[in-house]
């Protein structure tokens, strides 16, 4: 295993895609992924195809992925952990590698709590973590990955302009807000930061470990408060509640507005990107996004704010 460390996780993803011969064939992506992921593929000139999520696991539908990878038409897949749920489909990864050892398998754990231990027995080529904005441990920068020794990986410095990143974010958010969604026309600009003066790995890791312990404590106490105050029928199972506390509601926009009127933020996250960054549709990803409301359980929220959010939700939601 090799360790890669960069200003953000997508820089590592970019280098892996640009270096790995397997990425010359299309890679499978879950439809409910962070838009920065397909944008990184577009920047690297790597093709991809969206796959719907399983309505049971909320992760990429592995039966569909299995059937497509077996055709030999695809170079591999990027597996993501919806809402940071940490389980790993190790058996599936091992089976895919036994069918075709040249497949590029990426375990994108950017929404999971960061883990600094390389798993020697891992079947995947890239295990990717982020400590950037809005991640479980939010240092405001930083990503790292464990890379298989066999993975060709040649990082190279790309030009970067913060303004280009801002413009990219504005343009993809506008595309996502369109109804019905229309295809996003990608134009390459220097939006991806691949270089920056980073602290030494040991200092970064010490900082992330301290922040990890602190944030998990807060998340657990706010989660306990939400779990006790909101109806159990609308709560996601506990393994899906690490990154934020997620509930299913009929009208998330209405709930968000009611919270906002009291100065409280919430989010709705990662709608289906199928039909926007690549053709296709993903009804399960769309259905999930249509009903989910993400409540904050990090340093942006105090117990008083969480309590107030629950009182508002219990008042406004037809539960
Ligand atoms: C699943 C997933 N992968 C990758 C990324 C990119 O991480 P970074 O912002 O560190 O480049 C994100 C960003 O939100 C993400 O949610």
Residue-wise pLDDT for 133-148, tens only, equals 999 999 999 999 999 9
194 lines ligand 1 (CB under 6 A): no
pLDDT at 221: 97
Residue 249 pLDDT greater than 70, yes or no: yes
What are the sequence ranges of the domains in the chain?
A: 2-156, 215-316
Ligand 1 nearest atom to the CA of residue 81, by list position: 1
Average pLDDT over every residue of 15-26: 96
Q: Is 237 exposed, middle or buried (0-12, 13-18, 19+ CB in 10 A)?
A: exposed
- Please tell me the residue having the least CA distance from ligand 1 atom 2: 110
Please tell me the distance between residue 41's alpha carbon and the centre of ligand 1 in angstroms: 13
Check if the beta carbon of residue 194 is closer than 8 Å to that of residue 157. Answer: yes
84 lines ligand 1 (CB under 6 A): no
Assign a CATH topology to domain 215-316: 3.90.1150
Measured CA to CA, the distance from residue 110 to residue 82 in angstroms comes to 10
Residue 121 pLDDT greater than 80, yes or no: no
Check if the beta carbon of residue 274 is closer than 8 Å to that of residue 265. Answer: no
10 lines ligand 1 (CB under 6 A): yes
Short-list 82, 89, 73, 159, CA closest to 124: 89
Please state which of the four CATH numbers 1.10.1660.10, 3.40.50.300, 3.40.50.2300, 3.40.640.10 is assigned to the domain occupying 2-156.
Answer: 3.40.640.10
- Looking at every residue in the chain, the average pLDDT score rounds to 94
Please tell me the distance between residue 129's alpha carbon and the centre of ligand 1 in angstroms: 8
Buried b / exposed e along 208-219 (16+ C-beta atoms within 10 A) = beebbeebeeeb
Measured CA to CA, the distance from residue 78 to residue 86 in angstroms comes to 15
* Residue 230 burial (CB count, 10 A): 20
Lowest mean pLDDT among 92-101, 140-149, 169-178, 213-222: 169-178
132 lines ligand 1 (CB under 6 A): yes
User: Backbone phi, then psi, for 41, in 5-degree steps?
Assistant: -60, -45
pLDDT at 120: 61
Please tell me the distance between residue 128's alpha carbon and the centre of ligand 1 in angstroms: 9
Check if the beta carbon of residue 291 is closer than 8 Å to that of residue 248. Answer: yes
Lowest mean pLDDT among 111-125, 132-146, 217-231, 283-297: 111-125
User: Backbone phi, then psi, for 58, in 5-degree steps?
Assistant: 70, 5
Tokens, residue 286: 């769309």
pLDDT at 1: 87
Q: How confident is the model at residue 177 (pLDDT cuts 50, 70, 90)?
A: confident
- To the nearest whole percent, how much of the chain has pLDDT over 90? 90
30 lines ligand 1 (CB under 6 A): no
pLDDT at 118: 58
Residue 311 pLDDT greater than 60, yes or no: yes
Residue 260 pLDDT greater than 90, yes or no: yes
């Amino acid at each position: 295993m090799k360790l890669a460390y960069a200003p953000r996780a997508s820089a590592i993803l970019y280098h892996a895609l640009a270096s790995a011969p397997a990425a010359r064939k299309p890679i499978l992506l879950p439809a409910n992924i962070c838009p920065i992921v397909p944008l990184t593929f577009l920047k690297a000139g790597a093709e991809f195809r969206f796959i719907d999520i399983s309505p049971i696991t909320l992760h990429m539908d592995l039966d569909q992925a299995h059937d497509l990878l077996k055709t030999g038409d695809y170079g591999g897949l990027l597996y993501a952990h919806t809402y940071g749920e940490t389980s790993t489909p190790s058996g599936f990864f091992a089976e895919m590698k036994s069918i075709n050892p040249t497949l590029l398998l990426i375990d994108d754990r950017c929404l999971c709590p960061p883990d600094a231990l390389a798993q020697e027995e891992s079947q995947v080529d890239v295990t990717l973590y982020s400590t950037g904005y809005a991640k479980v441990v939010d240092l405001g920068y930083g990503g790292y990955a464990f890379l298989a020794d066999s993975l060709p990986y040649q990082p190279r410095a790309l030009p970067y302009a913060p303004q280009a990143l801002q413009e990219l974010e504005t343009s993809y958010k506008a595309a996502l807000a369109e109804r019905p969604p229309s295809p996003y026309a990608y134009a390459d600009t220097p939006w991806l930061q691949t270089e920056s003066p980073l602290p030494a790995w040991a200092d970064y890791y010490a900082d992330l470990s301290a922040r990890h312990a602190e944030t998990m404590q807060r998340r657990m106490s706010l989660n306990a408060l939400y779990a006790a105050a909101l109806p159990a029928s609308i709560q996601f199972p506990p393994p899906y509640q690490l990154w934020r506390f997620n509930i299913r509601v009929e009208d998330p926009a209405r709930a968000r507005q009611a919270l906002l009127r009291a100065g409280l933020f919430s989010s709705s996250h990662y709608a289906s990107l199928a039909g926007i960054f690549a053709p296709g549709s993903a009804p399960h990803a769309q259905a999930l996004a249509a009903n989910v409301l993400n409540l904050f359980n990090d340093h942006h929220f105090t117990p008083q704010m969480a309590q107030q959010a629950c009182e508002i939700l219990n008042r406004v939601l037809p539960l």
